[in-house]
Chain A
Amino acid sequence: MKITEQEVRYVAALAHLELSDEEVKRMTQDLDGILAYVDQLRQLDTEQVEPMAQVLFPGSENATLRGDEPHEPLAQEDALANAPLSGAGQFKVPRVIER
């Protein structure tokens, strides 16, 4: 076994993802199969290989910076329009601090 149900529950908690008992069982099976499969990467010697984070093309250090010119931002009301709960110009969430 590459991964146990207990580890699956731990990872789900890290990801803030609620899984039912049934989902945990299935997820354990699926991840076990996938992790066993991806293990073949270990066959490759990569000691001397640089990691590649993304595709980069030549350019000056500041090439991607734009001028610091003011422009119209997204209006507060537009930014809040898709919030499940908002008020007083804020996103509202369940209380986190006891008074």
Chain B
Amino acid sequence: MDIRRLTVDDVRAALLERRASAREIAQEALRYARESNQASNAWLAFAEERALEAAARVDGKIARGEDPGPLAGVPVAIKDNIVTRGLRTTCGSRLLERFVPPYDATAVERLERAGALLIGKTNLDEFAMGSSNENSAFGPVRNPADPERVPGGSSGGSAAAVAQGAAVAALGSDTGGSIRQPASFCGVVGLSPTYGRVSRYGLVAFASSLDRIGPLARTVRDAALVLQAIAGRDSRDSTSAFAPVPDYVSGMNGNLRGLRVGLPREYFEGLTGGTAAQMEKARSLLASLGCELREISLPHTPYAVPCYYILCTAEASSNLARYDGVRYTWRAPQVETLAEMYAKTRGQGFGAECKRRIMLGTYVLSAGYYDAYYLKAQKVRTLITRDFLDAFGQVDAIATPVSPFPAFRLGEKLDDPLQMYLSDIFTITASLAGLPAMSVPCGRTPEGLPVGLQLIAPHFGEPLLFRLGGAFEQAGGASL
């Protein structure tokens, strides 16, 4: 049994045919996670005791002839901004280096209830702010496809862990592309579900009008199985949606005949590093599968990055106000007054990117600037969302590159925040509109770097994404 290639179905078959126990799978996953971590730095903590306890529950159920659950024995990784009871949750920040949450996130609770084995917590940009994973206080993650390159961000650790193979699937969070972009850079599947589809209870808040939890996996089917386990209304998150959760896997029938797929022209300009050639191949493959390809326009696309960086920083400046040295583990030493305690704890605790976003967010919300920046951006958000709603009058789904370029080198964009922000240019739009969007592997560049195809569907259109992405994958999309 090669842990690096297992799918959810492989694990299930191995367990039910008694070729392996959940305990053996947990041990092997942990062993390989620790070993591979030396190259990738994808993991921040391992949860040996917890994984073995979960494995014992699965093995017990199988021994008693009970259903062990849809994700029984599946080793999973959890991004370290999703809280886990009794298991350190750092958000990639010095400020939370010793934070041990008193409860589990709903998504984690649901995964474990489905039989999954939580083997550890994965590295990320501090408080999920970044596109390269270089903003982690615990060192950057290296891309398994090329250790000199970034894995993308902010869910870089989750993407690298799944690509390396220690985890069959992982949870990430996506605010402006933080699941899809690292999935594309590392060559795995990453889904940002419809806003509200997955409860965010226990996700450390960054930008609340945009934050989502979603799966990363090695196959579209596995991503569907993970979403199945975590989706649905949660009374502990008032923003979670009431929409019923359909059976995601049964809709994956491979039939794309006559499906209208829009190719927005704004997303095919300025592609570099071999991305354009891969998109050309994706287009041919989709056509050969019977999709009806239509060129469309999403005219407000150029305004998405400025719109997003006003909204997300404004919300972040408010959400991060709670890290003031009172409740969350770390307080700057030698402070005399309360004001000094706040300022020094935050000044010494946050990394450069968090400070930049807190500053920008505070500025755009400050007296005299609110209308010019925040309110303006909220109106532009409406325009960007309308672009999509108009487009979905003509097409069933939209296909674009995930990123204008494949994984870049460590350090390449670190000193230029604006260039870093522009790497999210194609993922931010669906984030603003609250639409479900998935990154599916779309072959590699001549240099061997993975490229991702982004598929976008109308709200709650996850079944269509799985059908489309699954057929693309089955037809050889990953080896284009």
Which residues of A in the span 49-99 have a Cβ within 8 Å of any Cβ on B?
Answer: 49-55, 57, 59, 63-64, 66, 74-75, 78-79, 81-85, 91, 93-94, 96
Answer whether residue B358 sits at the interface, using C-beta atoms and an 8 A cutoff. yes
> In the complex the two chains form, what is the Cα distance from A49 to B377 in whole Å?
11
Selected contact of A82 from candidates B309, B328, B347, B363, CB within 8 Å: B328
Would you call B303 and A44 a contact (CB within 8 A)? yes
State whether the Cβ of A18 lies closer than 8 Å to any Cβ in chain B: yes
Q: Does A23 contact B (CB under 8 A)?
A: yes
Instruction: State whether B242 touches A59 (Cβ < 8 A).
Output: yes
- Measured CB to CB, the nearest residue on chain A to B326 is A91
A79-B102, A85-B331 as given contacts; A40 in contact with B303, CB under 8 Å: yes
Shortest CB-to-CB span from B355 to chain A, Å, is: 6
Q: Is A44 a contact partner of B380 (Cβ separation < 8 A)?
A: yes
Q: Which residue of B lies closest to A57 (CB)?
A: B241
Of the candidates A15, A17, A57, A84, the one whose C-beta lies within 8 Å of that of B329 is A84
What per-residue 1/0 map shows which CB atoms of B346-363 lie under 8 Å from chain A?
A: 111010000110111011
CB of B274 within 8 Å of the partner chain: no
Contacts of A50 on B, CB cut-off 8 Å? 379, 382
| Complex alpha-carbon distance, A86 and B26, angstroms | 38
Interface residues of B in 208-228 (CB under 8 A from A): 208-210
Classify the interface of chain A: helix, strand, loop or mixed.
loop
Q: How far is the CA of A62 from the CA of B48 in the complex (A)?
A: 43
Q: State in angstroms the CA–CA spacing of A18 and B380 once bound together.
A: 33
How far, in angstroms, from A15 to B336 measured CA to CA in the complex? 19
* B interface size (C-beta, 8 A): 73
Minimum Cβ distance to chain B for residue A45 (Å)? 10
- Across the interface, do A17 and B326 meet the contact criterion of CB distance under 8 Å? no
Hey, which bits of chain B sit against chain A, CB under 8 A?
A: 98-100, 102-103, 195-196, 208-210, 235, 238-239, 241-243, 300, 302-303, 305-307, 309-310, 317, 321, 324-331, 335-344, 346-348, 350, 355-356, 358-360, 362-363, 366, 373, 375-383, 385, 417-418, 421, 433-434, 459
Q: List 26 A-B contacts (CB under 8 A).
A: A11-B362, A11-B363, A13-B343, A14-B362, A15-B321, A17-B347, A17-B350, A17-B355, A17-B358, A18-B343, A18-B346, A31-B363, A33-B418, A34-B417, A37-B305, A37-B306, A38-B377, A41-B303, A49-B382, A49-B383, A53-B209, A54-B434, A57-B242, A57-B459, A78-B102, A93-B338
Interface residues of A (CB under 8 A from B): 3, 7-8, 11-19, 23, 27, 30-31, 33-35, 37-42, 44, 46, 49-55, 57, 59, 63-64, 66, 74-75, 78-79, 81-85, 91, 93-94, 96
Using A11-B366, A14-B362 as known contacts, list a sample of 4 further A-B pairs with CB atoms less than 8 Å apart, ordered by residue number in A.
A16-B324, A19-B347, A42-B376, A83-B327
